[in-house]
Every structure is written in structure tokens, then in C-alpha cells.
Chains A and B, each alone.
Chain A
Amino acid sequence: MTEESLWSIFINASLVNNFVLAYFLGICPFLGVSSKLDTATRMGGAVMFVMLVSSVCAFGIQALLVAIHAPYLKLISFIAVIASTVQLVEMFIKKVSPALFRTLGIFLPLITTNCAILGLALFQTNKGYGFVQSIVYALGAGAGFTLALVLMAGLREKLELAEVPDVTKGAAMAVMLAGLLSVTFMGFGGLGG
């Protein structure tokens, strides 16, 4: 277990090493669902939730794999367990709270193949975080993802009204915006100590 304080883990995961803008994880949903502010917020919430769940799962699996001396099964078991847990959670939410289910809606299954989720599970085991640290790390990463997504959506909504050259329409423009955001986030460097 590492000695990092919980606060610095949170700041590092959300701002300094933002999952989207510094680690390039979860770029697909970042470019895909960031055209409306409303959907972006909901997507962010859903990702944060799944990150929490899978972080707990990953912690359990890692402990089990270490116990049975089978580290080479890490990747396969992570992805299988995360995918099925998301399915279970989806069914559970549908049963318990239909309102919440409608809010998260189609985003839950999409998130399963989001590389930010698997990335989080891999990073937390590589860094050797303990149980509480893992949860804080997941919260920070989720918050950072949501922040990036919401900022991007705000920018793109404004951009709808602006006139841009034909060649820059679509993906190229979105990627350029992301680059600018990434430069801005570099300003947080050193904050996490």
C-alpha cells in the first residue's frame, strides 16, 4: 500500500492527471456524447457510478488472483467481471429505481467498453492502492471525467452558433478543442503535491 494522502489522490486523479485530457482514456464517449450539455452531465454521472463499482470489483479480484498465484488472468477476469457487473447493476437499478434507470438509460451498457473503466482498474492495481484509496481514486477519476465532458459540451454548444470553415467541421474541430482544454489543464500541474 502506498502512503499517498486521500486528498492528493483525489486531486491528482481529477485535475492533474485528468483521465481524458492527460491519459487519453475514454476518448470515444468524450467525442461521442459531448455535443449536448444535458446528456454530457448524465453520462458523467453514469461513468462515475460504474467506476466506483468496478474499482471495488477490481480490488477484490486482484486480492483473489494474488492469493491463487495467477497474475496472468488479471486482464481477462477484469474485463469479464466488469462487463457482467455493469449488466447486473443495470438490471438492479431497473428493478429498484425506474426513474434513475431512465436517467442513466442507454449509457450504462455503452460504458462497459469505455477504456477509462478498465484503465482505472489497471492503474489502481499497478499503483498498489488500498481499499479506501481505490474508492477515492475512482471518485476522483469520475469527477475529472465529468468535468472534462461538461466543459467540452459547453464549448461545443457555443460552437454550434459559430461559423467555421468546412474542412474543420466534425471530428477535427472536436479534437482541436480537446487539445486546447488539455493545455488549460496543464495549469493544474504540481497541485497534487
Chain B
Amino acid sequence: MATPTKSSTDEFIKGLWKDNPVFVQVLGMCPVLAVSNTAMNALAMGLATAFVLVMSNIVVSSLRSFIPKQVRIATYILIIATFVTVVDYVIQAISLDLYKALGAFISLIVVNCLILGRAEAFASKNTVARSVMDGLGMGVGFAFALFCLGAVREILGNGTLFEAALFHDSFQNWVVMILPSGGFFSLAAWLLLFNWLEQRKAKKDEKATLALSEEAAQ
């Protein structure tokens, strides 16, 4: 839980990188893998999830003193399901192609553990303003991660980005990246990258503290 000294900007920033929902917390994996076969799908899914996350955070945090403890999970799920239904119909109205590409995964935003997790861990204990910032940060972080994954898969698997060709005709598409297994592989690669960065930072910190203590000893 956040300490009161943290500003709301910090709540926003933490979701982007340090506590990135996908790469660091490994939450909400199902849509991440399923709809990240092109950058466009990934971005649309990320934005839809971000919208539901922010809206449900607002409602949960403004109702937090009225919801009885015993039925809070059921209440959260109903609130989330309402907004997901809204998103479902909105996407259907805006672009039928996108709706077909995302399929049942729009409805499945309901069971994305990220959203329920933020409602339970953050929005139910914090003010509306802070919850909005938290929802925005986590949502944008989620969309960013999805986009990273989708871009890699589309570039390698299809040779395009947002349907614009990137390579010369002689480029051989890595078909496996578009297939389900490609989702697992590219996610694994991103996780490796994050782990590696994390470890490098930890080592640097260690060295810095070691140097400090040596200086102090002298």
C-alpha cells in the first residue's frame, strides 16, 4: 500500500515501469497473450482494459464506505462487468473488424485479475483522485506492455507494423510469432529483458553501497 507522503504523480508513474502489471507483476496474462498478434489489436485491447480499470477504480473508491466487507468481491465483479459490457458495445459500434478480431476476449476483461486486484488492493482504500491516477498508470502500463508484445509479434511474424510493410520482399516471415506459441516466446523474451535490467540495477546498487561503506571505513 502507498504511503500518504506519495504524490498522485508517483501513483501514475509506478504503474508505467517499476510495478508494470505485465512485465513485473505478471498479472492479466490471458488477454496479453491472446490478442497481441498485431500491434493494432494489442493497442485496442490495452486501451479497453485501461478504460475499464479507470472507471471501475472511480466507482469502487467512491462507494468504498457503502460496500459491506462480506460481499465486496461480488460487488466489484458486478461493477467491472457493467463497464466491460459498455466497452463491448462501444467497440462493436466503432469498428466491426476490430470487434471480430478481439472476439470473446473483450468480455473476458471481466476476469482480468489486474482489474479486480487494483480494486481490492488500491481503490477500496484510497480517495477517488488517487485511484484515478493509479488506474491511469496501471492501465497505460498495461497498454504499453501489450503494445510492446504486439509490435514484436507483428514485425517478426508479418513483416509489418500497423499494417505498413517494413521490410524488403525477400524478408521471410516468422510465422511462428503470429501463432499462439509466438505469444509465449515473445513474452518470455520481454520478461528476460526486464529480469536482466533488474539484476543489473541490483548489482550497481550493491557496488555503490559497497563503495560507500569502504569510503566510510577509510
Contacts and interface: CB of A to CB of B under 8 A. Distances in A.
Contacts of B187: 175
A24 B183 CA distance: 9
A75 B77 CA distance: 11
A72 B82 CA distance: 10
Interface residues of B, number: 38
Q: Which secondary structure dominates where chain B touches chain A? A: helix
Contacts of B180: 21-24, 182, 186
Nearest to B110: A79
Contacts of A122: 104, 107-108
A179 B33 CA distance: 11
A118 B179 contact: no
A72 B30 contact: no
A184 to B, nearest CB: 9
Interface in B162-185: 176, 179-185
Contact of B199 (A24, A166, A178): A166
Interface string B88-113: 11000000000000001001101111
A118 B184 CA distance: 22
Contacts of A21: 180-181
B110 A75 contact: yes
A168 interface: yes
Interface string B104-136: 100110111100100000000000000000000
Contact of A183 (B81, B176, B199): B176
Contacts of A169: 195
A4 B196 CA distance: 48
A91 to B, nearest CB: 15
A26 B30 contact: yes
B185 A179 contact: yes
22 contacts: A21-B181, A25-B30, A27-B29, A27-B30, A76-B78, A76-B81, A79-B110, A80-B74, A80-B81, A113-B111, A113-B116, A115-B112, A118-B108, A118-B110, A122-B108, A126-B104, A166-B199, A170-B195, A171-B26, A179-B182, A179-B183, A180-B181
9 smallest CB-CB distances across A and B, nearest first, come from A179-B184, A182-B181, A172-B191, A27-B29, A24-B34, A24-B33, A176-B188, A115-B111, A175-B188
Interface of B: 26, 29-31, 33-34, 74, 77-78, 81-82, 84-85, 88-89, 104, 107-108, 110-113, 116, 176, 179-185, 187-188, 191-192, 195-196, 199
